[in-house]
Structures are given as structure tokens and as C-alpha cells.
Chains A and B, each alone.
Chain A
């Protein structure tokens, strides 16, 4: 199956700083990637859809100026949490679909996640 990686796997930062999280598709090109957030003991919530070469589409209630998404290449999408605060502490997971893969199943492949802790 297709492989998606994330970096870093965990990060601790001070309140007010910005943190960048990378999501890479390792063995396929992804025109679309997705960013999810998961708070403790809760399920995954979609934050935004990242489109290569164009602006990301954000879900209702997600601040686009706070969560900057850049999808400059077919294998890399980045999520930058700007001016992070303790309430942004969460588990961030990305996913990608291989457009050259199974066109019928539409399966998404998930990264291992990034644990962000804001002090």
C-alpha cells in the first residue's frame, strides 16, 4: 500500500511560537491531502483539504489564518500552526489519496501523526 510520512512525530513548543508539520507521500504523488485533528479521547475531525498548487479548503470553524496549509508539490503538504496556544495541543494526522491507485475504492492512506504540545 501507499506510504505517507509525517515529521516531526512530536513537538513541544512555547505559547506564541509557530510550528510546522510536514506530510509526505513517499511512493506516490498526491494532488490532494487532508489534515485532521484529534483531541484526547475523541475521534478525528477534518480540518482542511490541501490541494496541490491551489488554496486549501477549510472546514467550518477552522481558522485559515491560524492553520496555514501549503501544498507546493505533489508529494508534500505542510501545516503551520501560527501563534500556538495550549488549546492547540492535539494530535495532527494527515492523509492522502493515490490518484494513480485504485480509482474505484478512493482509499486514503494516513500518516503516523504528530503530537503537538504547547506549553
Chain B
């Protein structure tokens, strides 16, 4: 059974700092991995999707990397801003799993002024 873990569970940083969020998964047979942002009481905003054949994806200040063999992905946020404060979730789509996503435990990020 695929298990997805995110470290740290919570993170507080000053504005402007670069930071890295970690996601690990136990079964490397994934089809893709997605990073999402969730604001309190809200739905999910898709940030980046990395296919299994890709190593990284970039969007603005965000960069996500994927190392399938080691079961890890990182989300790098450059020059963090207070507006980046949210919970970040990673999710994996298992190969042959019928497109079902398994979500990680989430990292709650707070960027302080």
C-alpha cells in the first residue's frame, strides 16, 4: 500500500527566505506526482505536476523535483512571501492504480513579515 509522508509537518520562516518542503513515498511505481496548495477551509490549488519520466517542473518561484528511485520529491519556494502561507500537499498517482491519488500528510507553512 502506497504511503506518502511530508516533512516537516509545520514550518515558520521569515519573509524572503528560500525553503524546501519534502515528500516521500513508499512505492516508486508512480505515474505522476502533484503538489497542491490548500488555504484554510478551502479546496485545492494545483501548483505543479511532475510525470514519472520527468525530473523537475518549474512555475514562477516554485520548483518541484522528483527522484522516483528514492521515493522523494521536493518543492522549493524561492523568496517566500506572506501570501505563500498555506498547507502544501503532495499526492501520487500510482501506476495502474486507476488514476487514484494518495495524498501526503501536508506541511503547514507560515511566512512571517
Residues of A at under 8 Å CB distance from B? 1, 6, 32, 34, 36, 42-46, 49, 57, 91, 93, 95, 97, 104-113, 115
Least CB distance from B45 to A in Å reads 8
Whether the pair B32, A106 counts as a contact (CB closer than 8 A) is: yes
The yes or no answer to B42 lying at the interface (CB within 8 A) is yes
Main secondary structure of the interface of A (DSSP, over half): strand
Q: Which residues of A contact B41 (CB under 8 A)?
A: 91, 115
Q: Would you give the shortest CB distance from B14 to chain A, in whole angstroms?
A: 24
Asked whether A113 and B42 contact (CB < 8 A) given A46-B101, A105-B32, the answer is: yes
Q: Are A106 and B93 in contact (CB under 8 A)?
A: yes
Contact of A34 among B43, B46, B100 (CB under 8 A): B100
Chain B positions within 8 Å of A32 at CB level: 99
Q: CA A34 – CA B102 in complex, angstroms? A: 12
Does more than half of chain B's interface fall in helix, strand or loop, or is it mixed?
Answer: strand
Inter-chain CA distance A108–B52, complex, in Å, is: 16
Which residues 45-75 of B sit at the A interface, judged by CB distance below 8 A?
46, 49, 51
Which residues from B are CB-within-8-Å of A106?
31-32, 93, 99
Shortest Cβ distance from A59 into B: residue: B100
Docked complex Cα distance between A65 and B42 (Å)? 28
Q: Does B34 contact A (CB under 8 A)?
A: yes
Whether A107 and B49, one on each chain, are in contact in the complex, defined by CB atoms closer than 8 angstroms, is yes
Question: What residues on B are CB-neighbors of A93 within 8 Å?
Answer: 43-44
Q: Which of A49, A105, A111, A112 contacts B98 (CB 8 A)?
A: A49
